[in-house]
Amino acid sequence: MSGIAPPVPLTTGMPDPATIAKQKDAYSKMLEQQLRQGVTVLDAQVKHQKDYLIAQADQQKKQFTMQIEMEVKQQEMALQQQYAEQSMALQQQAAQQKAALEQQAMQLTMEYQQKKAEEDMQRQQFEMEKQQNEMQARMQAEMQKLGVSMPAFQQQGSATAPAFGAGGLGGAQFGSFGAPAASGTTYVYGPNGELIPKDA
């Protein structure tokens, strides 16, 4: 027998290239699977965080909107109260002015009615004096035609009718004036105020 020992195999216990390739493929697939799982979990986390942020933003928007609406309502109520107060003040002012206007109109109407009554009284007094003066002038003219003297009337603010006899104007005889009348002739006033002889 020879004293030379055979070489020790160096590849003992080592995987061969086929085994390495197989293990490589298995690990590669496992890594890809882990990567996909990690990406899926990360996507889920990101989505959850985004959803949380969106929900929180929506909640804040709602709270902000409610706060704004509440402030607007308060301002509207304040404006409505201010409007009511100003409207009431305007109505009171208008009522006071209307009452003052009514009082002034009533006072002016009363003053006008008083002045109108005085004016009517003065006009009536004037018409009476005018009629008396006209009657006196006609009587004077008629008596002058007949040659009968007529006593002067006294006028103090209004004409004073002469004091004829008890027979009045309708049947007065001119002898009652103290002036000589025509013998047996009586004069009376006609329908137009003229003197006409009346049969005895």
What's the pLDDT tens digit per position in 50-94?
999 999 999 999 999 999 999 999 999 999 999 999 999 999 999
> Does residue 83 form part of some domain?
yes
The reply to whether the predicted model has a pTM over 0.85 is no
- Domain span at residue 81? 21-111
> Does residue 151 form part of some domain?
no
> Does residue 39 form part of some domain?
yes
> Does residue 86 form part of some domain?
yes
What's the pLDDT tens digit per position in 109-121?
999 999 999 999 9
Of all residues in the chain, the percent with pLDDT exceeding 70 is 72
Mean pLDDT computed over 31-58: 93
> Does residue 181 form part of some domain?
no
> Does residue 161 form part of some domain?
no
Mean pLDDT computed over 170-196: 51
Neighbours of 187 (CB within 10 A): 20
pLDDT at 176 over 60: no
How many domains does the chain contain in total? 1
pLDDT band at 104 (very low <50, low <70, confident <90, very high): very high
